[in-house]
Amino acid sequence: MRPLFRYVFPVLLVSALMASAASADDAPRRSITVSASGSVSAVPDTARITSGVATEAPVARDAVSKNSEAMQKIIAGLKAGGIDEKDIQTTSFHIEPRYTRAREGEASVIDGYRATNQVQVVVRNLDKLGEVLDRLASLGANEMAGLSFDVSQAEKLKDDARKEAVANAHRRAKLYADAAGVELGEVLTIDESGDNAPHPIFAGRALKADAVPIERGSETLEATVSVTWALK
């Protein structure tokens, strides 16, 4: 009868080699992750105005009727002034009771109603923005809820900021790798994160408007990326 250890030894040796290879595969890969940002400056080319009209009357129906008449005049006037129909959108409409101020110990009494209708107007020619604001007031708009500027090609322009962010991350990663005595390998992951909304800078040229003076300023478009490289 042959000894068993002559056959067991080769099996154990192969198992040990396989376990060693698996252990090497499972070992964490050396890597470095760096986050960096890039930015570009852009001049806004569109504006959004939120404006409307509020009316009051003793009866709710009369408040709504007066409001509708005033709003129709405003919308018609905007269209006549060159604003495209697709650039006028109703954003809110509501009606609420108006109360008299009650004496101490007495309940407030409804003495009328207030109706409000607001639209958002997109102005694509900013040289006409002051005129549009003046026209809204002259047409009877008595509420101004907001004015904001947009860069229509913001996503495309932001690509330059993304390239700058990756370049900054690579430069910083190489600096760290050189300082540590290692080399950068292949890129493992690239993630974009952070607040990428445009940030306005209120310093720029004035719009050409005889009525309402407006400063369009400029906006900073930012991109933040986190890049991971393998280390050789």
pLDDT in tens, 172-231: 999 999 999 999 999 999 999 865 555 554 333 444 445 577 777 888 999 999 999 999
pLDDT number for residue 205: 40
230, 177 contact by CB (below 8 A): no
Specify the CATH number of the domain 46-150.
3.30.70.2970
Percentage of the chain exceeding pLDDT 90: 66
Domain ranges in the chain with CATH number 3.30.110.170: 28-43+154-231
Q: Among 57, 184, 175, which Cα is nearest to 116's?
A: 57
Phi, psi dihedrals of residue 35, rounded to the nearest 5°: -105, 140
Percentage of the chain exceeding pLDDT 70: 79
Query: Whole-model pTM?
Result: 0.64
Domain ranges in the chain with CATH number 3.30.70.2970: 46-150
pLDDT in tens, 98-151: 988 777 777 888 999 999 999 999 999 998 999 999 999 999 999 999 999 999
| Backbone CA torsion sign across 200, 206, 210, 213 | positive
Q: Which two tokens stand for residue 78?
A: 């905007």
Strand-pairing partners, residue 98, are: 112
| Position 26 confidence tier, pLDDT thresholds 50, 70, 90 | low
Specify the CATH number of the domain 28-43+154-231.
3.30.110.170
